[in-house]
Amino acid sequence: MTAKPIPVITIDGPTASGKGTVAHRVADRLSFHYLDSGALYRLTALAALEQGIALDDEHALAELARGLPCRFQAQSVLLAGRDVSEAIRAEQVGNAASRIAVLPALRRALVGLQLSFRQAPGLVADGRDMGTVIFPDADLKVFLTASVEARAQRRYKQLIDKGISASMDDLLKDLKERDARDSNRAVAPLKPAEGAYLLDTSEMTADRAVEQVLGWYAEAGKLAQ
């Protein structure tokens, strides 16, 4: 008898759409593992910035990614044993991550690492190509989005709450530029996976979004029986 594949839920979407919060809560509710694939690109970007590696040096970045000494521990992200949970969320690092994410060699270098997170009892993976490229056989695929204005407002509140000054105009410009880069890149462009459920959270709380995803997962389980 063939072993049943370890279940996977993918939640893809643009920057600041709330996918990380929703994915993390869904994973907690199901007692599944959690993969923040965007953190891997941010970790690579942070390491590159710290080591002085040019953001257009595709070969060097791929080599860096292949040996990336990172791990996820509870709510923390560790790089070479150092807690960089806050550092990887800096706007400079986010912009750098978006720039290097278009490089094919870097994306290939991170595929194996992402696949290794698929462990029992299950996985919730969030990112931009989880359902289209990394886990095309996922049990449930969700494409979560929100208007650019709603996303900018969320990012603004996050930064202000952390005591970081921010400009709404700059955030809107930044998000629009990232959306364009992510949607138009040649490799694994940001788009809904085939068969994905679309969820617009512009006027939806995270709790409602989590319940919707869990409801879809329950329905998918019934259909698979």
Calculate mean pLDDT across residues 6-29: 93
In angstroms, rounded to a whole number, what is the distance separating the alpha carbons of residues 203 and 89? 24
Write out the binding residues for ATP. 13-21
**Least reliable range by pLDDT among 33-37, 176-180, 186-190:** 186-190
Count CA atoms within 13 Å of residue 172 on its CB side: 8
In angstroms, rounded to a whole number, what is the distance separating the alpha carbons of residues 51 and 191? 32
Whether 3 is in a domain gets the answer: no
Whether 51 is in a domain gets the answer: yes
Average pLDDT, the chain: 90
Q: What pLDDT digit, counting tens, does each position of 112-149 carry?
A: 889 988 999 999 999 989 999 999 999 999 999 999 99
pLDDT of residue 131: 96
In angstroms, rounded to a whole number, what is the distance separating the alpha carbons of residues 38 and 161? 22
Q: State the helix-helix crossing angle for 19-30 and 206-224, rounded to 10 degrees.
A: 50
- What's the CATH code of the domain at 143? 3.40.50.300
What is the number of domains present in the chain?
A: 1
Write out the binding residues. 13-21
Residue 76 has pLDDT above 90, yes or no: no
Whether 78 is in a domain gets the answer: yes
For residue 38, the surrounding DSSP H or E stretch is helix 37-51
**Residue 196: DSSP 8-state:** P
Whether 223 is in a domain gets the answer: no
Whether 167 is in a domain gets the answer: yes
